[in-house]
Chains A and B, each alone.
Chain A
Amino acid sequence: MSGIEYLIQGFQVALAPTNLLACLVGVVLGTMVGVLPGLGPIEAMAIMLPLSIRYGPLAGLILLAGVWYGAQYGGSTTSILVNIPGEASSVITCVDGYQMTRKGRAGAALTVSAIGSFVAGTIGIIILQLFAPPLARAALSFGPIEYLAVMLLAFVALCTLGGDNPLKGALMIAFGAFLSTIGIDRIAGVQRFTMGIPTMMYGINFIPVAVGLFGIAEVIRIALNPYAPSPVKSIRLRELYPNREESRRSVMPILRGSFIGAFFGLLPGTPAVLASFASYSVEKSISPRKAEFGKGAIEGVAGPESANNSAVVIALIPLLCLGIPLAPVAALLLAGLEMHNVTPGPLFIRDNPTIFWGFIAAMYLGNFLLLVLNLPLVGLFARVATLRPQVLMPIIGIFCLIGSYTTRMAIFDVWVMIGAGVVGFLLTRLGFSMVPLVIGMVLGNILEDNLRVTIQWLNGEISLIWTRPIALTILALIPVYVVFIRLAGRKVLKSGVSD
């Protein structure tokens, strides 16, 4: 039987009432989880796990995965509207998405984000459907040293996001990396910078920090500024959607983001977060309108919001085809399957064709459902931006408080969030950019873990690196990338000027 026939069968399975309902519930719940900061897909999926078990392995998988990729759709909403990242993978969307809202282009940003998510999700599913087994084998050929090489490449790429002042950017990255070392370290189990406080053993969670740095800092900024009438007046329907210029500028970032996300999806840890950062970095580097980034460039929304969606779909490959959950969220999907004695692994597609193809078909349906559900909501959401600050800001404040509490149900996180808000406000005043700080927090941990495992692996014999062609290739890409980005940026800049 060919792939197409399998897929048609898959659609027959996915359209069965239970599975269709699981898909709908999953994506609606995912969107809600995405919109709410703090409550992330992991928490929501853990809550849904016992329920999903009742409906068999396929419906359970469809439901839980729906929550996961649905959250990537919803995550951008609060980033764009009120500068609070709904998910870790939508942090970078705050930067340009919120500036677009301040210019009255919230509708356009939300629409582009939804369409980008749809396109990238679909591209991700096509890749999953066609190349899952070979990609899984490729992922298995990555050892510690290869992961380290990729993380170094990502680090170099993301350093270009340091802002206008490289020194201030580097300081912020270092500060973020320092924050990521707080808590029990995951290799040796040693407490670092916990000052003997039990809750500090958990470490400083990324979500409350991001919510504080972006959301609360903005509330403080607006509260301290004299009241100016909201720049956004009533929105006409035509203004809700991207104009021709915005659409044209979004096409390539969405496509590039889809493939950047697909690559990062194969990496362990937090693929969607890394993918969104990487996509933003690439878009900023090669854009002829560099100066617009940070001031409401639509590319800064289109790219990352696409990348995080394809990343979560591709992140299913190591789970389904290796049986190894590289991302924490994938571990929950594994739990859902294992409860039915379905063991994902290299033989999964062969042994469970109904589940695999039904799942693929359900993801196509889910992506379509998300687009249909999200586009009409754009008008409703965009209205939020027209609220008076006296009404909106207290709501945002409460939203931030609840969001940071629900992350781990710890009051400690609320204090972290408030502290991050004050620090973020002061640092922004002093001309520091918040993006390198969050990048430092995300990458610091991953880079450190991979470096330490690689050092153990090399065990003093640095020459072993010559036996690892993949790692060498990736390391060689670092200077190539730097040169390419410089040249590409300059070239596009010239052609942009001549336009």
Chain B
Amino acid sequence: MLLIFAISVFFFGILFSEVSAYPDKPIKVIICYEAGSATDLIGRTFFQHIEKELGQPFMIVNKPGAASALGLRELLEAKPDGYTLGMSCSVNVLKILGHLPYTHRDFDVIGIPLLTGSILAVPSKSPFQSTKALVEHAKANPGKVRMSTTSKGAVFWIHARYFERLTGAKFNMIINPGGASFIATQLGGGHADVGFAAYKPLQSQIEAGNIRILGVTTEKRVQGFPNWPTLKEQGYDMVVTGWAGIVAPKGLPSDVYRKLVSIHAKVAGSKGWQDYCTATGTMAYPEYAGEEAAKFLDQDAEIQRPILEEIGAVQK
């Protein structure tokens, strides 16, 4: 009898300690974009790595719309217990855009899995052999050179406008109803003259020889792609990046927050993730976890603000 009691206390103890350790059940991730989109692919791959560290499966839910504001709204309604996370590429400017009355500071920022430079690409048959040739031609013929972009307010559209502002050239902006696959089709088929996009959606057209790269908007040349000249070394000081961030509802228990941040940093620095980033022409910064990531988002919002203000996208 005593033995049974002792054993049951023992097992109860195990049970109890199990309950208190986060995580003890599957974690839901709201990816605020369409299934199969660039961010969705990044998220699914990254959370596969995180899953191995945390030991609990992730349920990925796609809630696209309004530049990720719709999915983030749902995240805000979730309990801050670490069992609901979200992924957005513009959480820090949604307040500026008027899509959401909150910034990333109203969430607990877990980390930024990767950053990507924007690639300035032209069709292979294009006469422009360098960024300089392109800019000079565009300046001489304002509004004639067709620049294919994603929908208004999305990251590659912002980059295109940034380029316009920096060079003083005026392009004919072709704003498409969606993501980078439009840019890939229009450049690959020669229907547009130039475009900014991430490497991944353009990859197959680049490899097939239909699209050529003029430059990339990173600080230094991208690891694994040493033949991409940066815009900076070509004399155009345009260092901008797109990123994907993981956020949680504000007020996570401190042990849960610390665990998520440290695992994020560990995975972002792991060889598996570094290899993925190198292969896809993106960059992993393990230091962008927790408060460092939130600070990065502060800076990024300040880079974007003047562009958004200038084009009148800012809500007063």
* Chain A interfacial positions (CB closer than 8 Å to B): 42, 45-46, 49-50, 53, 140-144, 184-189, 198, 201-202, 322-326, 328, 330-335, 338-339, 341, 343-348, 449, 452-453, 456-457, 459
Contacts and interface: CB of A to CB of B under 8 A. Distances in A.
Interface in B198-218: 200-201, 203-205, 207-208, 210
B13 interface: no
Interface string B205-233: 10110100000000000000000000000
B184 A324 contact: yes
Nearest to B59: A50
B54 interface: no
A344 B204 contact: yes
A343 B40 CA distance: 16
Contacts of B65: 184, 201-202
Contacts of A49: 35, 44, 60
B188 A322 contact: yes
**Which of A324, A341, A347 is most buried by chain B, counting CB atoms within 10 A of its CB?**
A324
B237 interface: no
Contacts, number: 132
A42 B184 CA distance: 23
Interface string B46-70: 0010000000000010100111011
A365 to B, nearest CB: 25
10 contacts: A143-B189, A184-B65, A186-B151, A198-B70, A202-B70, A326-B181, A326-B185, A335-B40, A452-B177, A457-B174
Contacts of A345: 203-205, 207-208
B45 A144 contact: no
Given A144-B186, A323-B204, A326-B181, A456 B34 contact: no
Nearest to A146: B191
Nearest to B189: A140
B78 to A, nearest CB: 14
**Which of B36, B144, B203 is most buried by chain A, counting CB atoms within 10 A of its CB?**
B36
B269 interface: no
A260 B14 CA distance: 64
Contact of A143 (B60, B97, B186): B186
**Which of B41, B45, B177, B186 is most buried by chain A, counting CB atoms within 10 A of its CB?**
B177
B184 A187 contact: no
A172 B204 CA distance: 43
Given A322-B185, A325-B181, A50 B208 contact: no
Contacts of A324: 181, 184-185, 188, 201, 204-205
Contacts of B200: 338
Contacts of A335: 35-36, 40-41, 44
B67 A42 contact: no
B176 interface: yes
B191 A143 contact: yes
A339 B44 contact: yes
Interface string B65-86: 1110110010000000000000
A130 to B, nearest CB: 21
A347 B174 contact: no
Contacts of A328: 34-36
B261 to A, nearest CB: 24
B227 to A, nearest CB: 19
Contacts of A452: 177
Nearest to A45: B35
Given A144-B191, A322-B188, A328-B36, A187 B207 contact: no
Interface of B: 34-37, 40-41, 44-45, 48, 60, 62, 65-67, 69-70, 73, 97, 143-144, 146, 151-154, 172-178, 181, 184-186, 188-189, 191, 200-201, 203-205, 207-208, 210, 279
Contacts of B203: 323, 343, 345
> Mostly helix, strand, loop or mixed at chain A's interface?
helix
Contacts of B45: 339
Nearest to A46: B35
Contacts of A347: 204, 207-208
A356 B73 CA distance: 41
B204 A456 contact: no
Contacts of B97: 189
A325 B41 contact: no
B36 A331 contact: yes
B198 to A, nearest CB: 13
A333 B191 CA distance: 26
Given A143-B191, A322-B205, A188 B36 contact: no
A334 B189 contact: no
Given A46-B60, A323-B205, 12 more contacts: A45-B35, A143-B189, A186-B178, A201-B66, A201-B70, A323-B184, A324-B184, A325-B181, A328-B36, A343-B204, A346-B207, A453-B176
B117 to A, nearest CB: 19
Contacts of A42: 35
A60 B234 CA distance: 43
B204 A46 contact: no
B177 A459 contact: no
A478 to B, nearest CB: 22
A88 B160 CA distance: 36
B210 A338 contact: no
B178 A189 contact: no
B273 to A, nearest CB: 14
B141 to A, nearest CB: 12
A471 to B, nearest CB: 11
Contacts of B178: 186
A140 B185 CA distance: 6
Contacts of B191: 143-144, 457
A322 B185 CA distance: 8
Contact of B151 (A143, A189, A331, A339): A189
Closest 6 CB pairs of A and B: A345-B204, A323-B204, A331-B36, A143-B191, A346-B208, A186-B177
**Which of A322, A339, A459 is most buried by chain B, counting CB atoms within 10 A of its CB?**
A322
Nearest to B35: A46
B36 A334 contact: yes
A343 B200 CA distance: 9
A334 B201 CA distance: 11
A171 B163 CA distance: 45
A453 B189 contact: no
Given A322-B185, A345-B208, A457-B146, A187 B36 contact: no
A82 to B, nearest CB: 29
Nearest to B183: A324
